[in-house]
Amino acid sequence: MSKVTYSRGPGYLTGFLMMLMGFFVLAIPFGLIPTDPSSIHAPGWVLVVFGGVFVIAGLWVIFARAVRQDTTEASWINFLFTLIVLIALTAICLWIGFGPGQRFFVANDSLTGMRTSLTTDPTLGRIFFGGFGILLALATAAFAILQGRRLL
C-alpha cells in the first residue's frame, strides 16, 4: 500500500494567480491597459515595482512547490527571492514616505456598516510609511547580512 503525502503551503494555482495580478498591474505603466493619467498618483516605476513584487512572489511560490527545498541552491534562490521582495517593498514605502509630490491617504470606516471613505492627514501617512520604510530598510539590510553570511 502506498503512502499518500499531502504537501502544505500554497500551490501552483496560487503562484499563477499572484503572477496574473502582477502582470495586470504591470500592464498599466506599459500602456497595455488604457488608463486616465490623472487617475494614477504614482510614477511608472512604482507601479512596475509593485506589479513586479506580485510576479516575483508568484514565481517564488511555484519554485517552492516544484523544487526540492533541502539543497544549497534552493536556499540561495529563496534568499534572493526574499531579498528582492524586501527591497521592492522598502522602495515603495520610502517613496510614499519621502518621495516628492502630494499624497492622499484614505481610510475606510466600516464600523457603521456603511462604507465611507475618510481622508486622513497626509503628514501622518507620510510619517507612518516613512518610518515603516526606514525600519524595513534596516530589517532588509540585517537579513541580507545575516542570511548571506549563513549561506556562505
Domain boundaries, the chain: 9-66, 72-152
| Whole-prediction pTM | 0.82
Query: In the numeric block, which cell numbers belong to residue 141?
Result: 539590510
Listed ranges 8-12, 44-48, 109-113; the one with the highest mean pLDDT: 44-48
- Distance of CA 93 to CAs 25, 60, 122, 135, Å? 17, 22, 14, 10
List all residues 6 or more positions away from 76 whose beta carbon is below 8 Å from its beta carbon.
151
| 49 vs 73, residue with greater confidence | 49
**Which tens digit of pLDDT belongs to each residue from 50-90?**
999 999 999 999 998 888 888 888 899 999 999 999 999 99
pLDDT at 23: 97
Task: Judge whether 28 and 35 are in contact, CB under 8 Å.
Answer: yes
Short-list 18, 79, 73, CA closest to 50: 18
**Which tens digit of pLDDT belongs to each residue from 86-145?**
999 999 999 999 999 888 877 666 666 555 666 678 888 899 999 999 999 999 999 999
